[in-house]
C-alpha cells in the first residue's frame, strides 16, 4: 500500500497548525486569520500539496460522478448525446463515468454492479437491454433517455410517434406509392417502435401494406447492406423508404445507387435522428431531427432534481422536426 506523497497532515506540520485548520483553509470554511491562511498556503505550495479526492468522497458519501450507460459512443446519435451530457454535467460540477455496454447484457450488468456501489451519484442510461433488475433495486437516482427501463425511472424521449408520422407523411406527399420502413426487431420496448407504429397506422389508414424490414442495431454494415439489397430484390416496386435512423438511411441510399436507382427521382428516402455528424457528412439527407442537445439538458435537469431529493417530475417528450435535405 503506497502512501500518497504529501497529505494534509504534512501541510499542517509544516505550517505549524492543526489538520483542521488546513482543512478549513482548503474549503474556505470557518474563521481564519489572514496570517494562518498565508502560512498554510505557503506550506501547500512548498510541498506541492494536492488534496486526495477519494478521502473526501468517502467522508461526504458523494463522488460528483455520473455514470452514463449507452450501447456505444461510436455512433452519430450517441456521440452527440454523450458529448452534450458531459457538457451539461460539467457545468453543474459533475464528471462523467463512461459505460459502453456494446449491447451486451453482461457488460451492462457489470457496469451497474460497480457503479451502484457508491461509485456514482447518479446514472443516465440509454442502453438497449432489458430486464436488468438492478435498476429497480437501487436507491440511486436514474434517468433514462429514449428507453423505457422501469416504472419509476423517468424517460426523456423525442416525440417518436409524431416523427414517424412526419416522415411517412412526407413520403406520401411526395407521391410515393410503395413505402417501406426499417426498424429494430420487435421485442425491444424502445420508444423507437413508436416510429414504426406511426408508419403502420398511416399506411393502414390508407389501405396500403405496411412493410417493415428489421435491422439489428449492432449488425455490421455488410449485414445491413445485405438486408437492404434483399429489400430491393423482394420489393422492386418500392419508391419510398422511411429508415428508423440516419445510418440506415445512408446505407440504403448507397445500396440503391449501386442498383441504379436515382434519388430522389426514383426513390425517396427519409431518415431519423439528424445528429451533428450526419448533418455534416450527409447534409443531403432528408431526416426527422431529434433535439439531442435539449434531450441531454433535460435529462441532466431531471437527474439533478432527483439527486436533490425531489421525487419528481415524470417523463419528458420533446418535439422533432423534419429537415429538408433533398433525398425526399
Partner DNA sequence: TTGAAAGCGCTAACAA
Partner DNA sequence: TTGTTAGCGCTTTCAA
The binding site for DNA (CB under 7 A) comprises 1, 3-4, 7-9, 16-21, 23-24, 26-27, 29-33, 35-36, 51-52, 55-56, 58-61
- Closest contact distance (angstroms) between CB of 43 and DNA is 12
- Closest contact distance (angstroms) between CB of 153 and DNA is 25
The crossing angle, in degrees rounded to 10, of helices 19-27 and 34-47 is 90
How many residues are recorded in the chain?
328
Query: What mask, x for binding a copy of itself by CB under 8 A, covers residues 209 to 248?
Result: ------------x------------------------xx-
254 contacts which partner out of a copy of itself, DNA, none, CB within 5 to 8 A by kind?
a copy of itself
139 contacts which partner out of a copy of itself, DNA, none, CB within 5 to 8 A by kind?
a copy of itself
247 contacts which partner out of a copy of itself, DNA, none, CB within 5 to 8 A by kind?
a copy of itself
45 contacts which partner out of a copy of itself, DNA, none, CB within 5 to 8 A by kind?
none
- Segment interacting with a copy of itself, rule: CB under 8 A, options 21-29, 57-65, 200-208, 298-306: 57-65
Q: 143 has which bridge partners?
A: 124
Give 138-143's long-range contacts (Cβ < 8 A, gap of 24+): 140/115, 140/116, 141/303, 141/306, 141/307, 142/303, 142/306, 143/299, 143/302, 143/303, 143/306
The rounded radius of gyration (Å) of the Cα atoms in the chain is 26
Site for a copy of itself in 262-301 (CB under 8 A): 276-283
- Closest contact distance (angstroms) between CB of 118 and DNA is 7
- Closest contact distance (angstroms) between CB of 207 and a copy of itself is 36
- Closest contact distance (angstroms) between CB of 38 and DNA is 10
Q: Which of 23, 36, 102, 216 binds a copy of itself (CB under 8 A)?
A: 102
Residue 55, all three cell numbers: 478521502
27 contacts which partner out of a copy of itself, DNA, none, CB within 5 to 8 A by kind?
DNA
Site for a copy of itself in 6-35 (CB under 8 A): none
- Closest contact distance (angstroms) between CB of 300 and DNA is 25
CA-CA distances (angstroms) from residue 70 to 73, 78, 126, 160? 7, 8, 5, 19
Backbone angles phi, psi at 213, to 5 degrees: -95, 130
- Closest contact distance (angstroms) between CB of 197 and a copy of itself is 27
Q: Which CB sits closer to a copy of itself, 97 or 323?
A: 97
What DSSP character marks residue 262?
Answer: -
Report helix, strand or coil for 183.
strand
d(CA 228, CA 252): 6
Q: Which of 15, 39, 63, 202 binds a copy of itself (CB under 8 A)?
A: 63
d(CA 248, CA 285): 11
d(CA 302, CA 291): 16
Q: Which of 8, 22, 44, 99 binds a copy of itself (CB under 8 A)?
A: 99
For residue 262, the tally of other CB atoms under 10 A from its CB is: 9
- Name the CA dihedral angle for 241, 242, 243, 246, rounded to a multiple of 10 degrees: 100
26 contacts which partner out of a copy of itself, DNA, none, CB within 5 to 8 A by kind?
DNA
d(CA 75, CA 127): 13
- Closest contact distance (angstroms) between CB of 113 and DNA is 14
Residue carrying C-alpha cell 450526419 = 278
Query: What mask, x for binding a copy of itself by CB under 8 A, covers residues 122 to 151?
Result: ---------------x-x------------
Indicate whether 98 belongs to the interface with a copy of itself (CB under 8 A): yes
Asked if 273 and 246 touch (Cβ cutoff 8 Å), the reply is yes
Quick one: which H or E segment has residue 171? helix 160-173
Amino acid at each position: 500500500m503506497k502512501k500518497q506523497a504529501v497529505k494534509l497532515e504534512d501541510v499542517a506540520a509544516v505550517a505549524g497548525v492543526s489538520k483542521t485548520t488546513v482543512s478549513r483553509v482548503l474549503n474556505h470554511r470557518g474563521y481564519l486569520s489572514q496570517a494562518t491562511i498565508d502560512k498554510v498556503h505557503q506550506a501547500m505550495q512548498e510541498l506541492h500539496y494536492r488534496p486526495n479526492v477519494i478521502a473526501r468522497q468517502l467522508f461526504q458519501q458523494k463522488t460528483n460522478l455520473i455514470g452514463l450507460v449507452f450501447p456505444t459512443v461510436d455512433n452519430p446519435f450517441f456521440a452527440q448525446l454523450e458529448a452534450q451530457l458531459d457538457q451539461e454535467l460539467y457545468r453543474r460540477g459533475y464528471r462523467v463515468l463512461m459505460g459502453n455496454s456494446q449491447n451486451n447484457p453482461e457488460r451492462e450488468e457489470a457496469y451497474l454492479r460497480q457503479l451502484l456501489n457508491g461509485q456514482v451519484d447518479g446514472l443516465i442510461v440509454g442502453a438497449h437491454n432489458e430486464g436488468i433488475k438492478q435498476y429497480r433495486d437501487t436507491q440511486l437516482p436514474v434517468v433514462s433517455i429514449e428507453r423505457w427501463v422501469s416504472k419509476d425511472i423517468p424517460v426523456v424521449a423525442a416525440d417518436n410517434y409524431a416523427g414517424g408520422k412526419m416522415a411517412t407523411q412526407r413520403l406520401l406527399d411526395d407521391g410515393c406509392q410503395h413505402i417501406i420502413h426499417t426498424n429494430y426487431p420487435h421485442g425491444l420496448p424502445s420508444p423507437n417502435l413508436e416510429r414504426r407504429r406511426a408508419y403502420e397506422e398511416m399506411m393502414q389508414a390508407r389501405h396500403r401494406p405496411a412493410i417493415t424490414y428489421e435491422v439489428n442495431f449492432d449488425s455490421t454494415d455488410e449485414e445491413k447492406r445485405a438486408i437492404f439489397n434483399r429489400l430491393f430484390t423482394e420489393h422492386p416496386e418500392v419508391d419510398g423508404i422511411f429508415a428508423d435512423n440516419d445510418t440506415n438511411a445512408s446505407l440504403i441510399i448507397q445500396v440503391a445507387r449501386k442498383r441504379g436507382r436515382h434519388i430522389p427521382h426514383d426513390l425517396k428516402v427519409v431518415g431519423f435522428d439528424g445528429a451533428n455528424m450526419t448533418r455534416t457528412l450527409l447534409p443531403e439527407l432528408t431526416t426527422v431531427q431529434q433535439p439531442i442537445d435539449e434531450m441531454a439538458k433535460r435529462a441532466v435537469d431531471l437527474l439533478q432534481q432527483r439527486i436533490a431529493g425531489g421525487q419528481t417530475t415524470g417523463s419528458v417528450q420533446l418535439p422533432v422536426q423534419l429537415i429538408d435535405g433533398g433525398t425526399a
